[in-house]
Structure 1
Amino acid sequence: MASSGSRRLLAAGWSVVIVALGNSCTAPPAPAVPSFRDMVEQVRRGESTEIVTADEPIGDAKLTLLSDLPELKHLAIEKFQGTEKGLRAIAELPNLQRLQLRGGQVGDNAMAVISRCVSLKNLNLPDASFSDEGLAALKGLPQLELLRFHTQHVSDEGLTHIAEMKSIRFLHLIGVPITDQGLANLEVMQQLESFYIDDTAVTDEGIERLLKAVPGLHLHVDQQHSDRDPSKGTHPH
């Protein structure tokens, strides 16, 4: 029979083993998130074609680092704090195809600068403040296929500018104060494949009329498939 001292040593040994096993199961530390400057250098060296930031605030000083990055195709900034001055560096990116700016008040002057990004195919502005005038500037983007934005300053009449953008196939309006008249202005968009509208003043009647005018349109209203959507349950999005 083991003595009490032996039992204590045995217990201590097992404690060391358990602690060691516990330490060996600890998850490795998460890799450091590259800074905006790091990602700029990765693009400059040809190691990447995108810059996607999360928690780092990006103002004009950092935006100027984007100058002379012809290979950059995707730019997403979650904490955008720039002005038209900083956006001019973005407008000089000849191959930029996807742009998302969140957190800054992107107004009409900023939209005029963004309209110079002639290679844009995907534009996402979830915290904007532009008006009908700023929206009209986007008609200068011949390749724009997806447009997603929130602003409280675009009207029903402003949607006529979107209706003139023949390249747009995917449209998402968030909290834009439009009515059924705005939807009626979109009825000419026979190329439109997917339309998401959240927090607007449209009615079921306006939605039904749009679906009749644009057969096969995939429609989401307030985060839900429209019951009148003929592709409900079959559309991949």
Structure 2
Amino acid sequence: MAIDEHLSEFDGLPVFTFDCDTEGQLPEAAEVAWAVRGDWAELDGFPELFERFMAAVDTAKVTSLIMGFWGADDPVAAKALVANADRFPALRALFLGDILDEEYHLSWIGQGDITPVVQAFPGLERLEVRGGGSPSDDLVLSPFRSEVLRVLRFESGGLPADVVRAVGASDLPNLEELDLWLGVQQYGGDAALDDLAPILAGERLPALRHLGLKNSEIQDEIAEGLASAPVVAWLESLSVSMGTLTDRGVEALLSGQPLTHLKSLNMDYAFLSEPMLERARSALAGVELLASDATREVEWSDEWNVGFYVAATE
């Protein structure tokens, strides 16, 4: 699945792009989500662009910030942000890597250790990170505590197990939304069901209302874990989309704990039979079932060893 559109809205604000061509009158700092985007014409120019952004905008009033294409595997955008953290005292929402597939593939986006970002901005209520997915990727996160973080999202073609375990070991008492694109082993996504155990238990996530464990090649195993996971009891929405979910996984969900309290269940981009999909619709008649592309065909290729496949890898 290609990522082919930049954000137009973020954290309830319209997005305004600040790039190499930006000039003239700018909006008020607190009225938009600022997207700082480099381009291929100046691959090494992101630090200078960010300096220009900080000179042109009253960053003390910026509440929402998006870091776009920065032109290299080195996470220069996050480094520049951390180095200037004192100039963003009001920052509450951050997206690291709003980068399109045509700009840089998902697995090419180097994020490095994002723990300094979390530490530099303890007031973050929303943190979204796109990138990772290569066995050599250095995406790193250490466990942390935040009383104010409400949304945490990782979009990856291969989310390292260490990062998954760090999320599970973090104390996030007010987190409401957690979305993890787990990816595949070929691109560094080596998390097993055991690595998700603290998230499934939910002891550190008492306020969680949405959980997405998706884009995984072990999607059926995840569904089986969710079938008895304590955290499901207080969720309003659940997503097991974008991965290799089959009838086996849906059978586990339908045979496990009740799901009728959910407002929505996302099983889109899966490998389900029509009878199983109809069974799910009948059993969960009061739940919004998102499954517009849930009956994909398996693509076999001896050359590439392809069978069931996830939505986003490279």
TM-score when normalising by structure 2 = 0.53
Match of 1:168 among 208, 233, 243: 208
Amino acid in the other structure paired with 1:103: G
- Kindly indicate whether structure 1 or structure 2 has the higher relative contact order, using CA contacts under 8 Å at least 6 residues apart: 2
Amino acid in the other structure paired with 1:159: L
Amino acid in the other structure paired with 2:284: D
**CA 1:128–1:105 in structure 2 vs 1: closer, same or farther (change >3 Å)?**
same
* Corresponding residue for residue 111 of structure 1: 141
Q: Which runs of 5+ in 2 are unaligned?
A: 1-14, 20-35, 37-49, 100-108, 185-189, 271-276, 291-314
> Percent identity of the aligned residues?
19
1:30-79, Cα deviation, whole Å (9 max, x unpaired):
x9831432665646332x20102444445254233442233111001224
* Corresponding residue for residue 195 of structure 1: 238
* 3-state SS of 2:284 partner: coil
1:148-181, Cα deviation, whole Å (9 max, x unpaired):
1212322222332212333322112222233555
Question: Would you tell me which structure has more helix in proportion to its own residues?
Answer: 1
* Corresponding residue for residue 225 of structure 2: 185
* 3-state SS of 2:90 partner: coil
* Corresponding residue for residue 21 of structure 1: none
* 3-state SS of 1:33 partner: strand
Counterpart CA distance in 2 for 1:216 and 1:97 is 26
Counterpart CA distance in 1 for 2:53 and 2:179 is 25
Counterpart CA distance in 2 for 1:91 and 1:122 is 16
1:82-135, Cα deviation, whole Å (9 max, x unpaired):
311x6413422021011111134597962216x355532111111164444432
Q: How far did residue 219 of structure 1 move?
A: 0.9
Say whether residues 1:63 and 2:81 are aligned partners: yes
Q: Following superposition of structure 1 onto structure 2, how do residues 19-98 of structure 1 map, counting pairs within 5 Å?
A: 33-35=17-19, 36=36, 37=50, 42=57, 44-46=59-61, 48-57=62-71, 59=76, 60-68=78-86, 69-77=88-96, 78-79=98-99, 81-84=110-113, 87-98=115-126
Amino acid in the other structure paired with 1:229: L
**CA 1:124–1:182 in structure 2 vs 1: closer, same or farther (change >3 Å)?**
same
Question: What's the C-alpha RMSD, in Å, of the aligned pairs?
Answer: 3.4
Please tell me whether the aligned partners of residues 108 and 133 of structure 1 are also in contact (alpha carbons under 8 angstroms): no
Provide the aligned length of Structure 1 versus Structure 2.
201
Counterpart CA distance in 1 for 2:267 and 2:181 is 15
Match of 1:145 among 176, 182, 199: 176
Please tell me whether the aligned partners of residues 174 and 200 of structure 1 are also in contact (alpha carbons under 8 angstroms): no
Q: Which runs of 5+ in 1 are unaligned?
A: 1-30
* Corresponding residue for residue 135 of structure 1: 164
Counterpart CA distance in 2 for 1:81 and 1:49 is 24
* Corresponding residue for residue 24 of structure 1: none
Counterpart CA distance in 1 for 2:54 and 2:94 is 10
